[in-house]
Structure 1
Amino acid sequence: MTKKSTKAPAKKPAAAKAPKRGAAEATAGRGGKVAKTQLVEQVAEKSGLTKKQAAQGVDAAMDTIVEALRQGQSVGLPGLGTLSVRDTAARTGVRPGTSERIQIPAGKKVAFKVAQTLKGELKQRSPDYHVLLAD
């Protein structure tokens, strides 16, 4: 008996890889996600800052928002919405697979309420905006 080798399939040549998308292309598609690097690029482009300065600004803003939420404060972002911390009640849940009843302790969650101006803009641009704004 001979033993068959199990080789991994050959990799595609580098030319077959899809080219990297720019920030504008990535945000143009519906349902896409804007990564931090893309956000930094856009802030740098719109503000005239270097990418390093824009990254520091984005980091500072995110750190400030997170710290305010940790302290239980709401964070209003004009034209975008409000982030706030809400308490969740203790409840009984069901463990998937075993159907065992479990007690889920009370906790906290971050909630986001969309600003009316943004909600109106999304409504005008998308006929199925209610799917995007389910909460």
Structure 2
Amino acid sequence: MAKSTKPAAAKAPAKAAKPAAKAAPKTAAADKSEKIAKTQIIDMVADKTSLNKKQAGEAVASMLDVVVEALKGGKSVGLPGLGTFSVAKTAARQGVRPGTSEKITIPAGKKVRFKVASTLKTGL
């Protein structure tokens, strides 16, 4: 009987400590930096529309696919009230490998840029 009471006593403080540890990081700064996941966006779309979660998921996924395909095709995508995604070419340049300080050439490429809409910028 002594063996069964010791593990139970050892587990009880650990369970009580976990909720306290999770509650501590919730601060005003942490709330501002939280990331909204795709599933949360789907839930929000479903709540704001007459779509169920499956339909909202398909709509969100389709919209993201269209944006990605347009960017892959070199087109820019404007989302009123949010901003504009565009593809920009980058020139080849010299860089330094951090571990060895060896000079390397970074090849030319492309990257996605985002310009925030002025209405969103002033509303923040």
- 1:45-72 CA-to-partner distances (Å, cap 9, x unmatched) read 0112100000000000000000000000
Instruction: Report the 3-state secondary structure (helix = DSSP H, G, I; strand = E; otherwise coil) of the residue aligned with 2:43.
Output: helix
1:121 is matched with 123
* 1:16 Cα deviation from its structure 2 partner: 4.0
Question: What SS does structure 1 have at the residue aligned with 2:32?
Answer: coil
Q: 2:67 — aligned with what?
A: 65
State the shift of 1:15 in Å.
9.6
Structure 1 residues 95 and 42: alpha-carbon distance in aligned structure 2, compared to 1, 3 A threshold? same
Greater CA radius of gyration, 1 or 2? Answer: 2
Partner of 2:105: 103
| TM, length-normalised to structure 1 | 0.71
**What does the per-residue CA deviation read over 1:79-130, in whole Å, with 9 as the maximum and x for residues that have no partner?**
00000000000000000121110000000000000000000001xxxxxxxx
User: Which of the residues 26, 34, 37 maps onto 2:36?
Assistant: 34
User: Matches of 1:50 and 1:39 in 2, distance apart?
Assistant: 13
Identity %: 61
Structure 1 residue runs without a partner (length 5+): 1-9, 20-27, 123-135
2:114 is matched with: 112
TM-score by length of 2: 0.77
Does 1:48 pair with 2:50?
yes
Matches of 2:31 and 2:47, distance apart in 1: 20
Q: Aligned partner of 2:49: which letter?
A: S
Partner Cα distance (2:34, 2:103) in 1? 37
Higher relative contact order (CA 8 A, sep 6+): 2
**Higher helix fraction: Structure 1 or Structure 2?**
2
AA in 2 matched with 1:98: T
